Chains A and B, each alone.
Chain A
Amino acid sequence: MTTRRTGWIVGAVAVALVLSMIAPGAVLVLAVPVAVIWSILTRWRPTGHEDRDVAERLLAAAAVVTGERTSSDGEQVDWGAALRAELATITVPRERRRFAVGAAVALLGRPHSRRSLVVAAAVAVAFGAGLLGVSRAGLGDDGLGSVTMLLPPVMLFAIGYLCARSTRSLRFGLETGVVAALTTLVAVAVVYGVEAAHWYHVAPDVSVLDGDYVEFDSTRAAVLDAAHPVILLVHLVFWSPWPVLGAWVGRAPRSARG
């Protein structure tokens, strides 16, 4: 094990220990998927070619992420396999690296489809509407923080999993899951803003985040407290591993078949 790698592991353990003392729930939500993803990535090796060079590894990784494309007549075109076969004919190392970089860019460079955006937008609207309903029903109770922290990871995992599984494309699962995380964050920000203003007028000095007593001197202060960029960033950090993990798990059976 290299010194640098040991340093990373020690650092990660130290951060996890500090976090576990501050917020054990945070460690569970954030660290578990990160650890699983890390474990998958470090253990995963494409079968059959353990002695690959950098060019082949790069292209193999891009091919796994992108999955297959479909031509106009509905035929599956495995562009990853096509590019890897082409790379196999190139013998000059420098030329191999150049080709692999260009081919990886070609595989990764284009959006899979507009379906990702449609799904992500639908998820955000549904979650935003549900959150609004929960807020109005639970006014003055525990706030919305627990809902927005704990429910989206499950939802985003499911989206990543289902999208990757249904299309057999890790890329589609990743794209849809990540875009859904971003659109959901926008929905959360909007609902927090609207509800902070609403709560301020109906039940002043109650935080929309956790229902605790907080003294606000204006609607603007209440809104800024709830929809604060740091609060939103923390949400995004907590959510982000889950769509990745879901997409990977959804894609896994096909990888296992090779």
Chain B
Amino acid sequence: MRRPRKPTPQTIAVVLALADNPSGWSHGYHLCRQLGLKAGTVYPILMRLTERGQVETTWETDPPSGRPARHLYRLSGEGARFAKELRAAAAAEILRASRSGGVIRPAPGEAV
């Protein structure tokens, strides 16, 4: 049985950014700008999360004329559980670091 890989800081950042917007849909380019990451980083993460069923996708239903409908992303139920686990793990790590006097470096895009 294959062990699940530890998510990268960039994946964590994308998941948490999507989790911060639980009711609405997010645009890929908006996520890139929000997190300060390149499209070549964010989109493979979105593709992978979509293939795993952790992100749901849809198309904009009423795009302005002259522009194609954009692709939208949000966490699925499974993705929301994953985000919750990531938050719990991050909190546990912060707690552990504070007890040992260590420093935690924030993930890309995460507020310090």
Contact = CB atoms under 8 A, between A and B. Distances in A.
Contact of B38 (A70, A86, A102): A102
A189 interface: no
Contacts of B97: none
Contacts of B51: 69-72
Interface in A110-136: 110
A79 B42 CA distance: 13
Contacts of B68: 81, 84-85, 88
B10 interface: no
Given A89-B70, A103-B40, A106-B39, A77 B28 contact: no
Interface residues of A, number: 26
Interface residues of B, number: 23
Interface in A58-91: 69-73, 77, 79, 81-86, 88-90
Given A106-B40, A110-B47, A89 B52 contact: no
Contacts of B60: 85
Contacts of A105: 39-40
A109 interface: yes
A109 B28 contact: no
A48 to B, nearest CB: 11
Interface in A31-55: none
Given A105-B40, A106-B44, A99 B29 contact: yes
B77 interface: no
**Residue among A98, A99, A110 with most chain B CB within 10 A:** A99
A27 interface: no
A72 B71 contact: no
B106 interface: no
B67 A88 contact: yes
A33 to B, nearest CB: 32
Contacts of A84: 68
Contacts of A107: 43
B69 interface: yes
Interface in B51-83: 51-53, 57, 60, 67-71
A176 B44 CA distance: 21
Given A84-B68, A88-B68, A99-B29, A71 B39 contact: no
Contacts of B52: 72
Given A83-B43, A109-B40, 10 more contacts: A83-B71, A88-B67, A89-B29, A89-B67, A99-B29, A102-B32, A102-B41, A106-B40, A106-B42, A110-B44
30 contacts: A69-B47, A71-B51, A72-B50, A72-B52, A73-B53, A81-B71, A82-B28, A82-B57, A82-B71, A83-B28, A83-B43, A85-B60, A85-B67, A85-B71, A86-B27, A86-B71, A88-B67, A88-B68, A89-B29, A89-B70, A101-B40, A102-B32, A102-B38, A102-B40, A102-B41, A102-B43, A103-B39, A105-B40, A106-B40, A110-B47
